[in-house]
Structure 1
Amino acid sequence: MIRLISIIIGLGFTLVVLIAFGTGLATVISDGELKPETAEHVFHEHAHAPDEGFSFTGPFGKFDKQQLQRGLQVYSEVCAACHSLKYVSFRDIAALGYSEGQVKAFAASKQVPGIDPNTGEATMRPGLPTDRFPSPYPNAVAAAAANNNAIPPDLSLITKARHNGSEYVYSLLTGYQAQPAELLKEFPEAKTPDGLHYNPYFANLNLAMAPPLTTDGQVTYAEGNPEPTVRQMAADVAAFLTWTAEPKLEKRNQTGWPVLGFLLFATVLAFLAKKQVWSAAKRKDD
């Protein structure tokens, strides 16, 4: 009886799969030929890393603290005008090599929302290490009004929210260009609308954000750092945003290898124990 019920259930599942397949096939046939490729499919580029790569990639990767400090500077002087880092506290930057005094000074240089203790009204005050990076806009409506109705995304986890996030950020920042004549010839309807900017690394090729990094030397690095070219600044801020999304990346890599080693040792030990136990049982059978 149980076997019969199992067979009926199995046939039922098979029938459902066949119906779903048939429905999909009928939809394709009724729609006629497949839709032609769009401009997004043809001209969308895949993200790539800087020529020298990123120091944190791979199983033994580590963050370059000097690069992270430069990335924080680029974010503060360029990106912070539109994008927030709402999941990052000022005190977190101590992990980048800053002293306690430097963290306090950096926090105090930022204005964060507060409450006037005398009147109870909302006000702005100097930041504390425990405060988080403030949003440049009071609300989403104000953000949209200032950016052609496009709300700038928070960047705290942006490299985790995009495929190949570090490479994506770098490519997007360095990918602004004029629309190729070939695109306009093949897809005249894909002409970039007024107020948008063509970038082949963005999903639909056109985005509201104007090029944030426009000229070499836009941010002045301290002496001893690489030349602040557009590509260098893009790589630095991409590395910084990778750190904001994965601050424990190095520790995870360091912990992973000992764990793998222990699991391998335990597997070998279990195999040898199994051999010994079953060899004794086999001798008894003989």
Structure 2
Amino acid sequence: METGNETLNTDFILLGLFPGMRNVSILVSIILLIYTIAITGNVTLILLIWIDLHLHTSMYFLLSQLSLIDLAFISSTVPKMVVNFFSGNRKISFIGCGTQIFFTLTLGIAECILLTLMAYDRYVAICHPLKYPIIISHRVSQQMAIGSWLGGALASLVHTSYSMHFPLCGPRNLHHFFCEVKAILKLSCEDISAYEKGVVVTSIVVVLLPVSLILTSYTLIILEVLRMNSPEGKNKALATCSSHLTVVTFYYGPAMLIYMRPGSSNTPILNQALFVFDTILTPMLNPLIYSLRNKEVLGALRKVLRKCLLSK
């Protein structure tokens, strides 16, 4: 099955979560529960925003897009991982691996862009409230969402096609629970130092630049909030902003440690833990964070539940 050093077998073997760990079945069962909660939470939030007319604003439209991304993000990794574990068949085809890389990168980068745009949306709403309906119209919010998806897809297409073209040597065992660029590159026969530099540049653009813009937006927001005379207005602004900042921290923190930490490719176990947090825990936490800290979302949920109870 080999010609020189390059294997002709195109299937990969996903070694799964923390290879060699005891009682992995318990961890997989917990992740399956987290997946169920994430699906329920994000679908509920999307439906509430769609049903309740009071939530038909640019802010909630962008929030529904974040839930849609999280829904797709967690679904691009967990079902395959769970099926592989319980079936015992850990293979994934070359095309399947490339497809998984494309979707996870698309959704990950789209979330980076969207979180940045959501910070700008809050900046305009709090610092320029009278101009907000003009600057962030429904059409503009739609363009923001489309731009996030397109930006993610284009960047992902470049990285997926480039990383998958390298010749691979030896057993195609991926020390991961899903197909990920760094795990693939570790199997390459060629010198990939130039491409790794390109990944660092992309990380700066996709991670550091958005974080800088988000921090700038919230610095201006905090300065504006401190000048407010109304305690109610302050509390509402701080509640919304703290929810978004918590989501940003949960998402960008692990991403920066994975892609921007020196020697991160030499710590596969730590990387897996960070990926579990970023791709599995965060999509579950996001709808909970926004719902529990948001009176309008909780009010919409109560109305829907009340209608359901009365109809019975």
TM over 0.5: no
Specify which structure has the higher proportion of helix: 2
| Larger Rg over CA atoms | 1
- TM-score tier after normalising by the smaller chain length: under 0.3
> TM-score when scaled to structure 2?
0.22
> TM-score when scaled to structure 1?
0.24
